[in-house]
Amino acid sequence: MASQHKQEDSPGGFPNGFVSGVKQEEQQRTRREFLSIVSHAAAASLLGGLAFSVQGCGGNYSPPPPPPGDGYAGTDDQLLEEIEKAAFLFFWEQADPNTGQVKDRALATGINDAHTVSSIAATGYGLAAMCVGDQRGYQPHATIVSRSATTTEGLNQPCAWVGLQRAAFSPPAGTTIAN
């Protein structure tokens, strides 16, 4: 059986001087040489990809126009005014007129839901919205001043604390809701 080749003579069990599928001579590279080869290959790959991306786009790509009916027909200032007024109206409509406390949530449909919990956070944002609404003339000045006074008077009432924050409230009564 002289024609059979012994695999035990080569390291790693690969014939013809291969170790793990790589010739032994190639495995003698230093770490520095290996990193140099890998970094050059990575740089060539990135440069090739960059060249392709510039050439592939043609250099003057512009997005397609929006379909008809999409977008806002007015100016940017008109859009901002509309958003500001809608935000003001949310806080105005969701605040209880007797206590000024603003509900934490509301249905987007405008239908009054049964959720009647308010918080100091929502009420604080409501006070800020009233300042904007007063400057923009969304409600009469005297009405906004009256609602603001009612809200701040209600916030001065004794209340329960949960940890470091005030507890949730029931807007109509202005009473604390237990957790």
Confidence of residue 26 (pLDDT cuts 50, 70, 90): low
What pTM was computed for the model? 0.52
Whether residue 16 lies inside any domain: the answer is: no
- Cβ 136 vs Cβ 92: under 8 Å: no
Residue 81 lies in a domain: yes
| pLDDT at residue 20, rounded to an integer | 56
71 within some domain: no
pLDDT digits (tens, 9 = 90+) for 79-121: 999 999 999 999 998 888 888 888 888 887 767 777 778 888 8
In a domain, 14, yes or no: no
Residue 87 lies in a domain: yes
Indicate whether 136 belongs to any domain.
Answer: yes
**27-72 residue pLDDT tens:** 677 888 888 888 888 888 777 776 666 555 555 667 777 667 667 7
Residue 37 lies in a domain: no
Of 122, 119, 103, 123, the residue nearest 166 (C-alpha):
119
Please state the domain count of the chain: 1
| Domain-located, residue 127 | yes
Q: Are 125 and 91 in contact (CB under 8 A)?
A: yes
The whole domain housing 114 covers 77-176
Query: In terms of C-beta density within 10 A (0-12 exposed, 13-18 middle, 19 or more buried), how is residue 164 classed?
Result: exposed
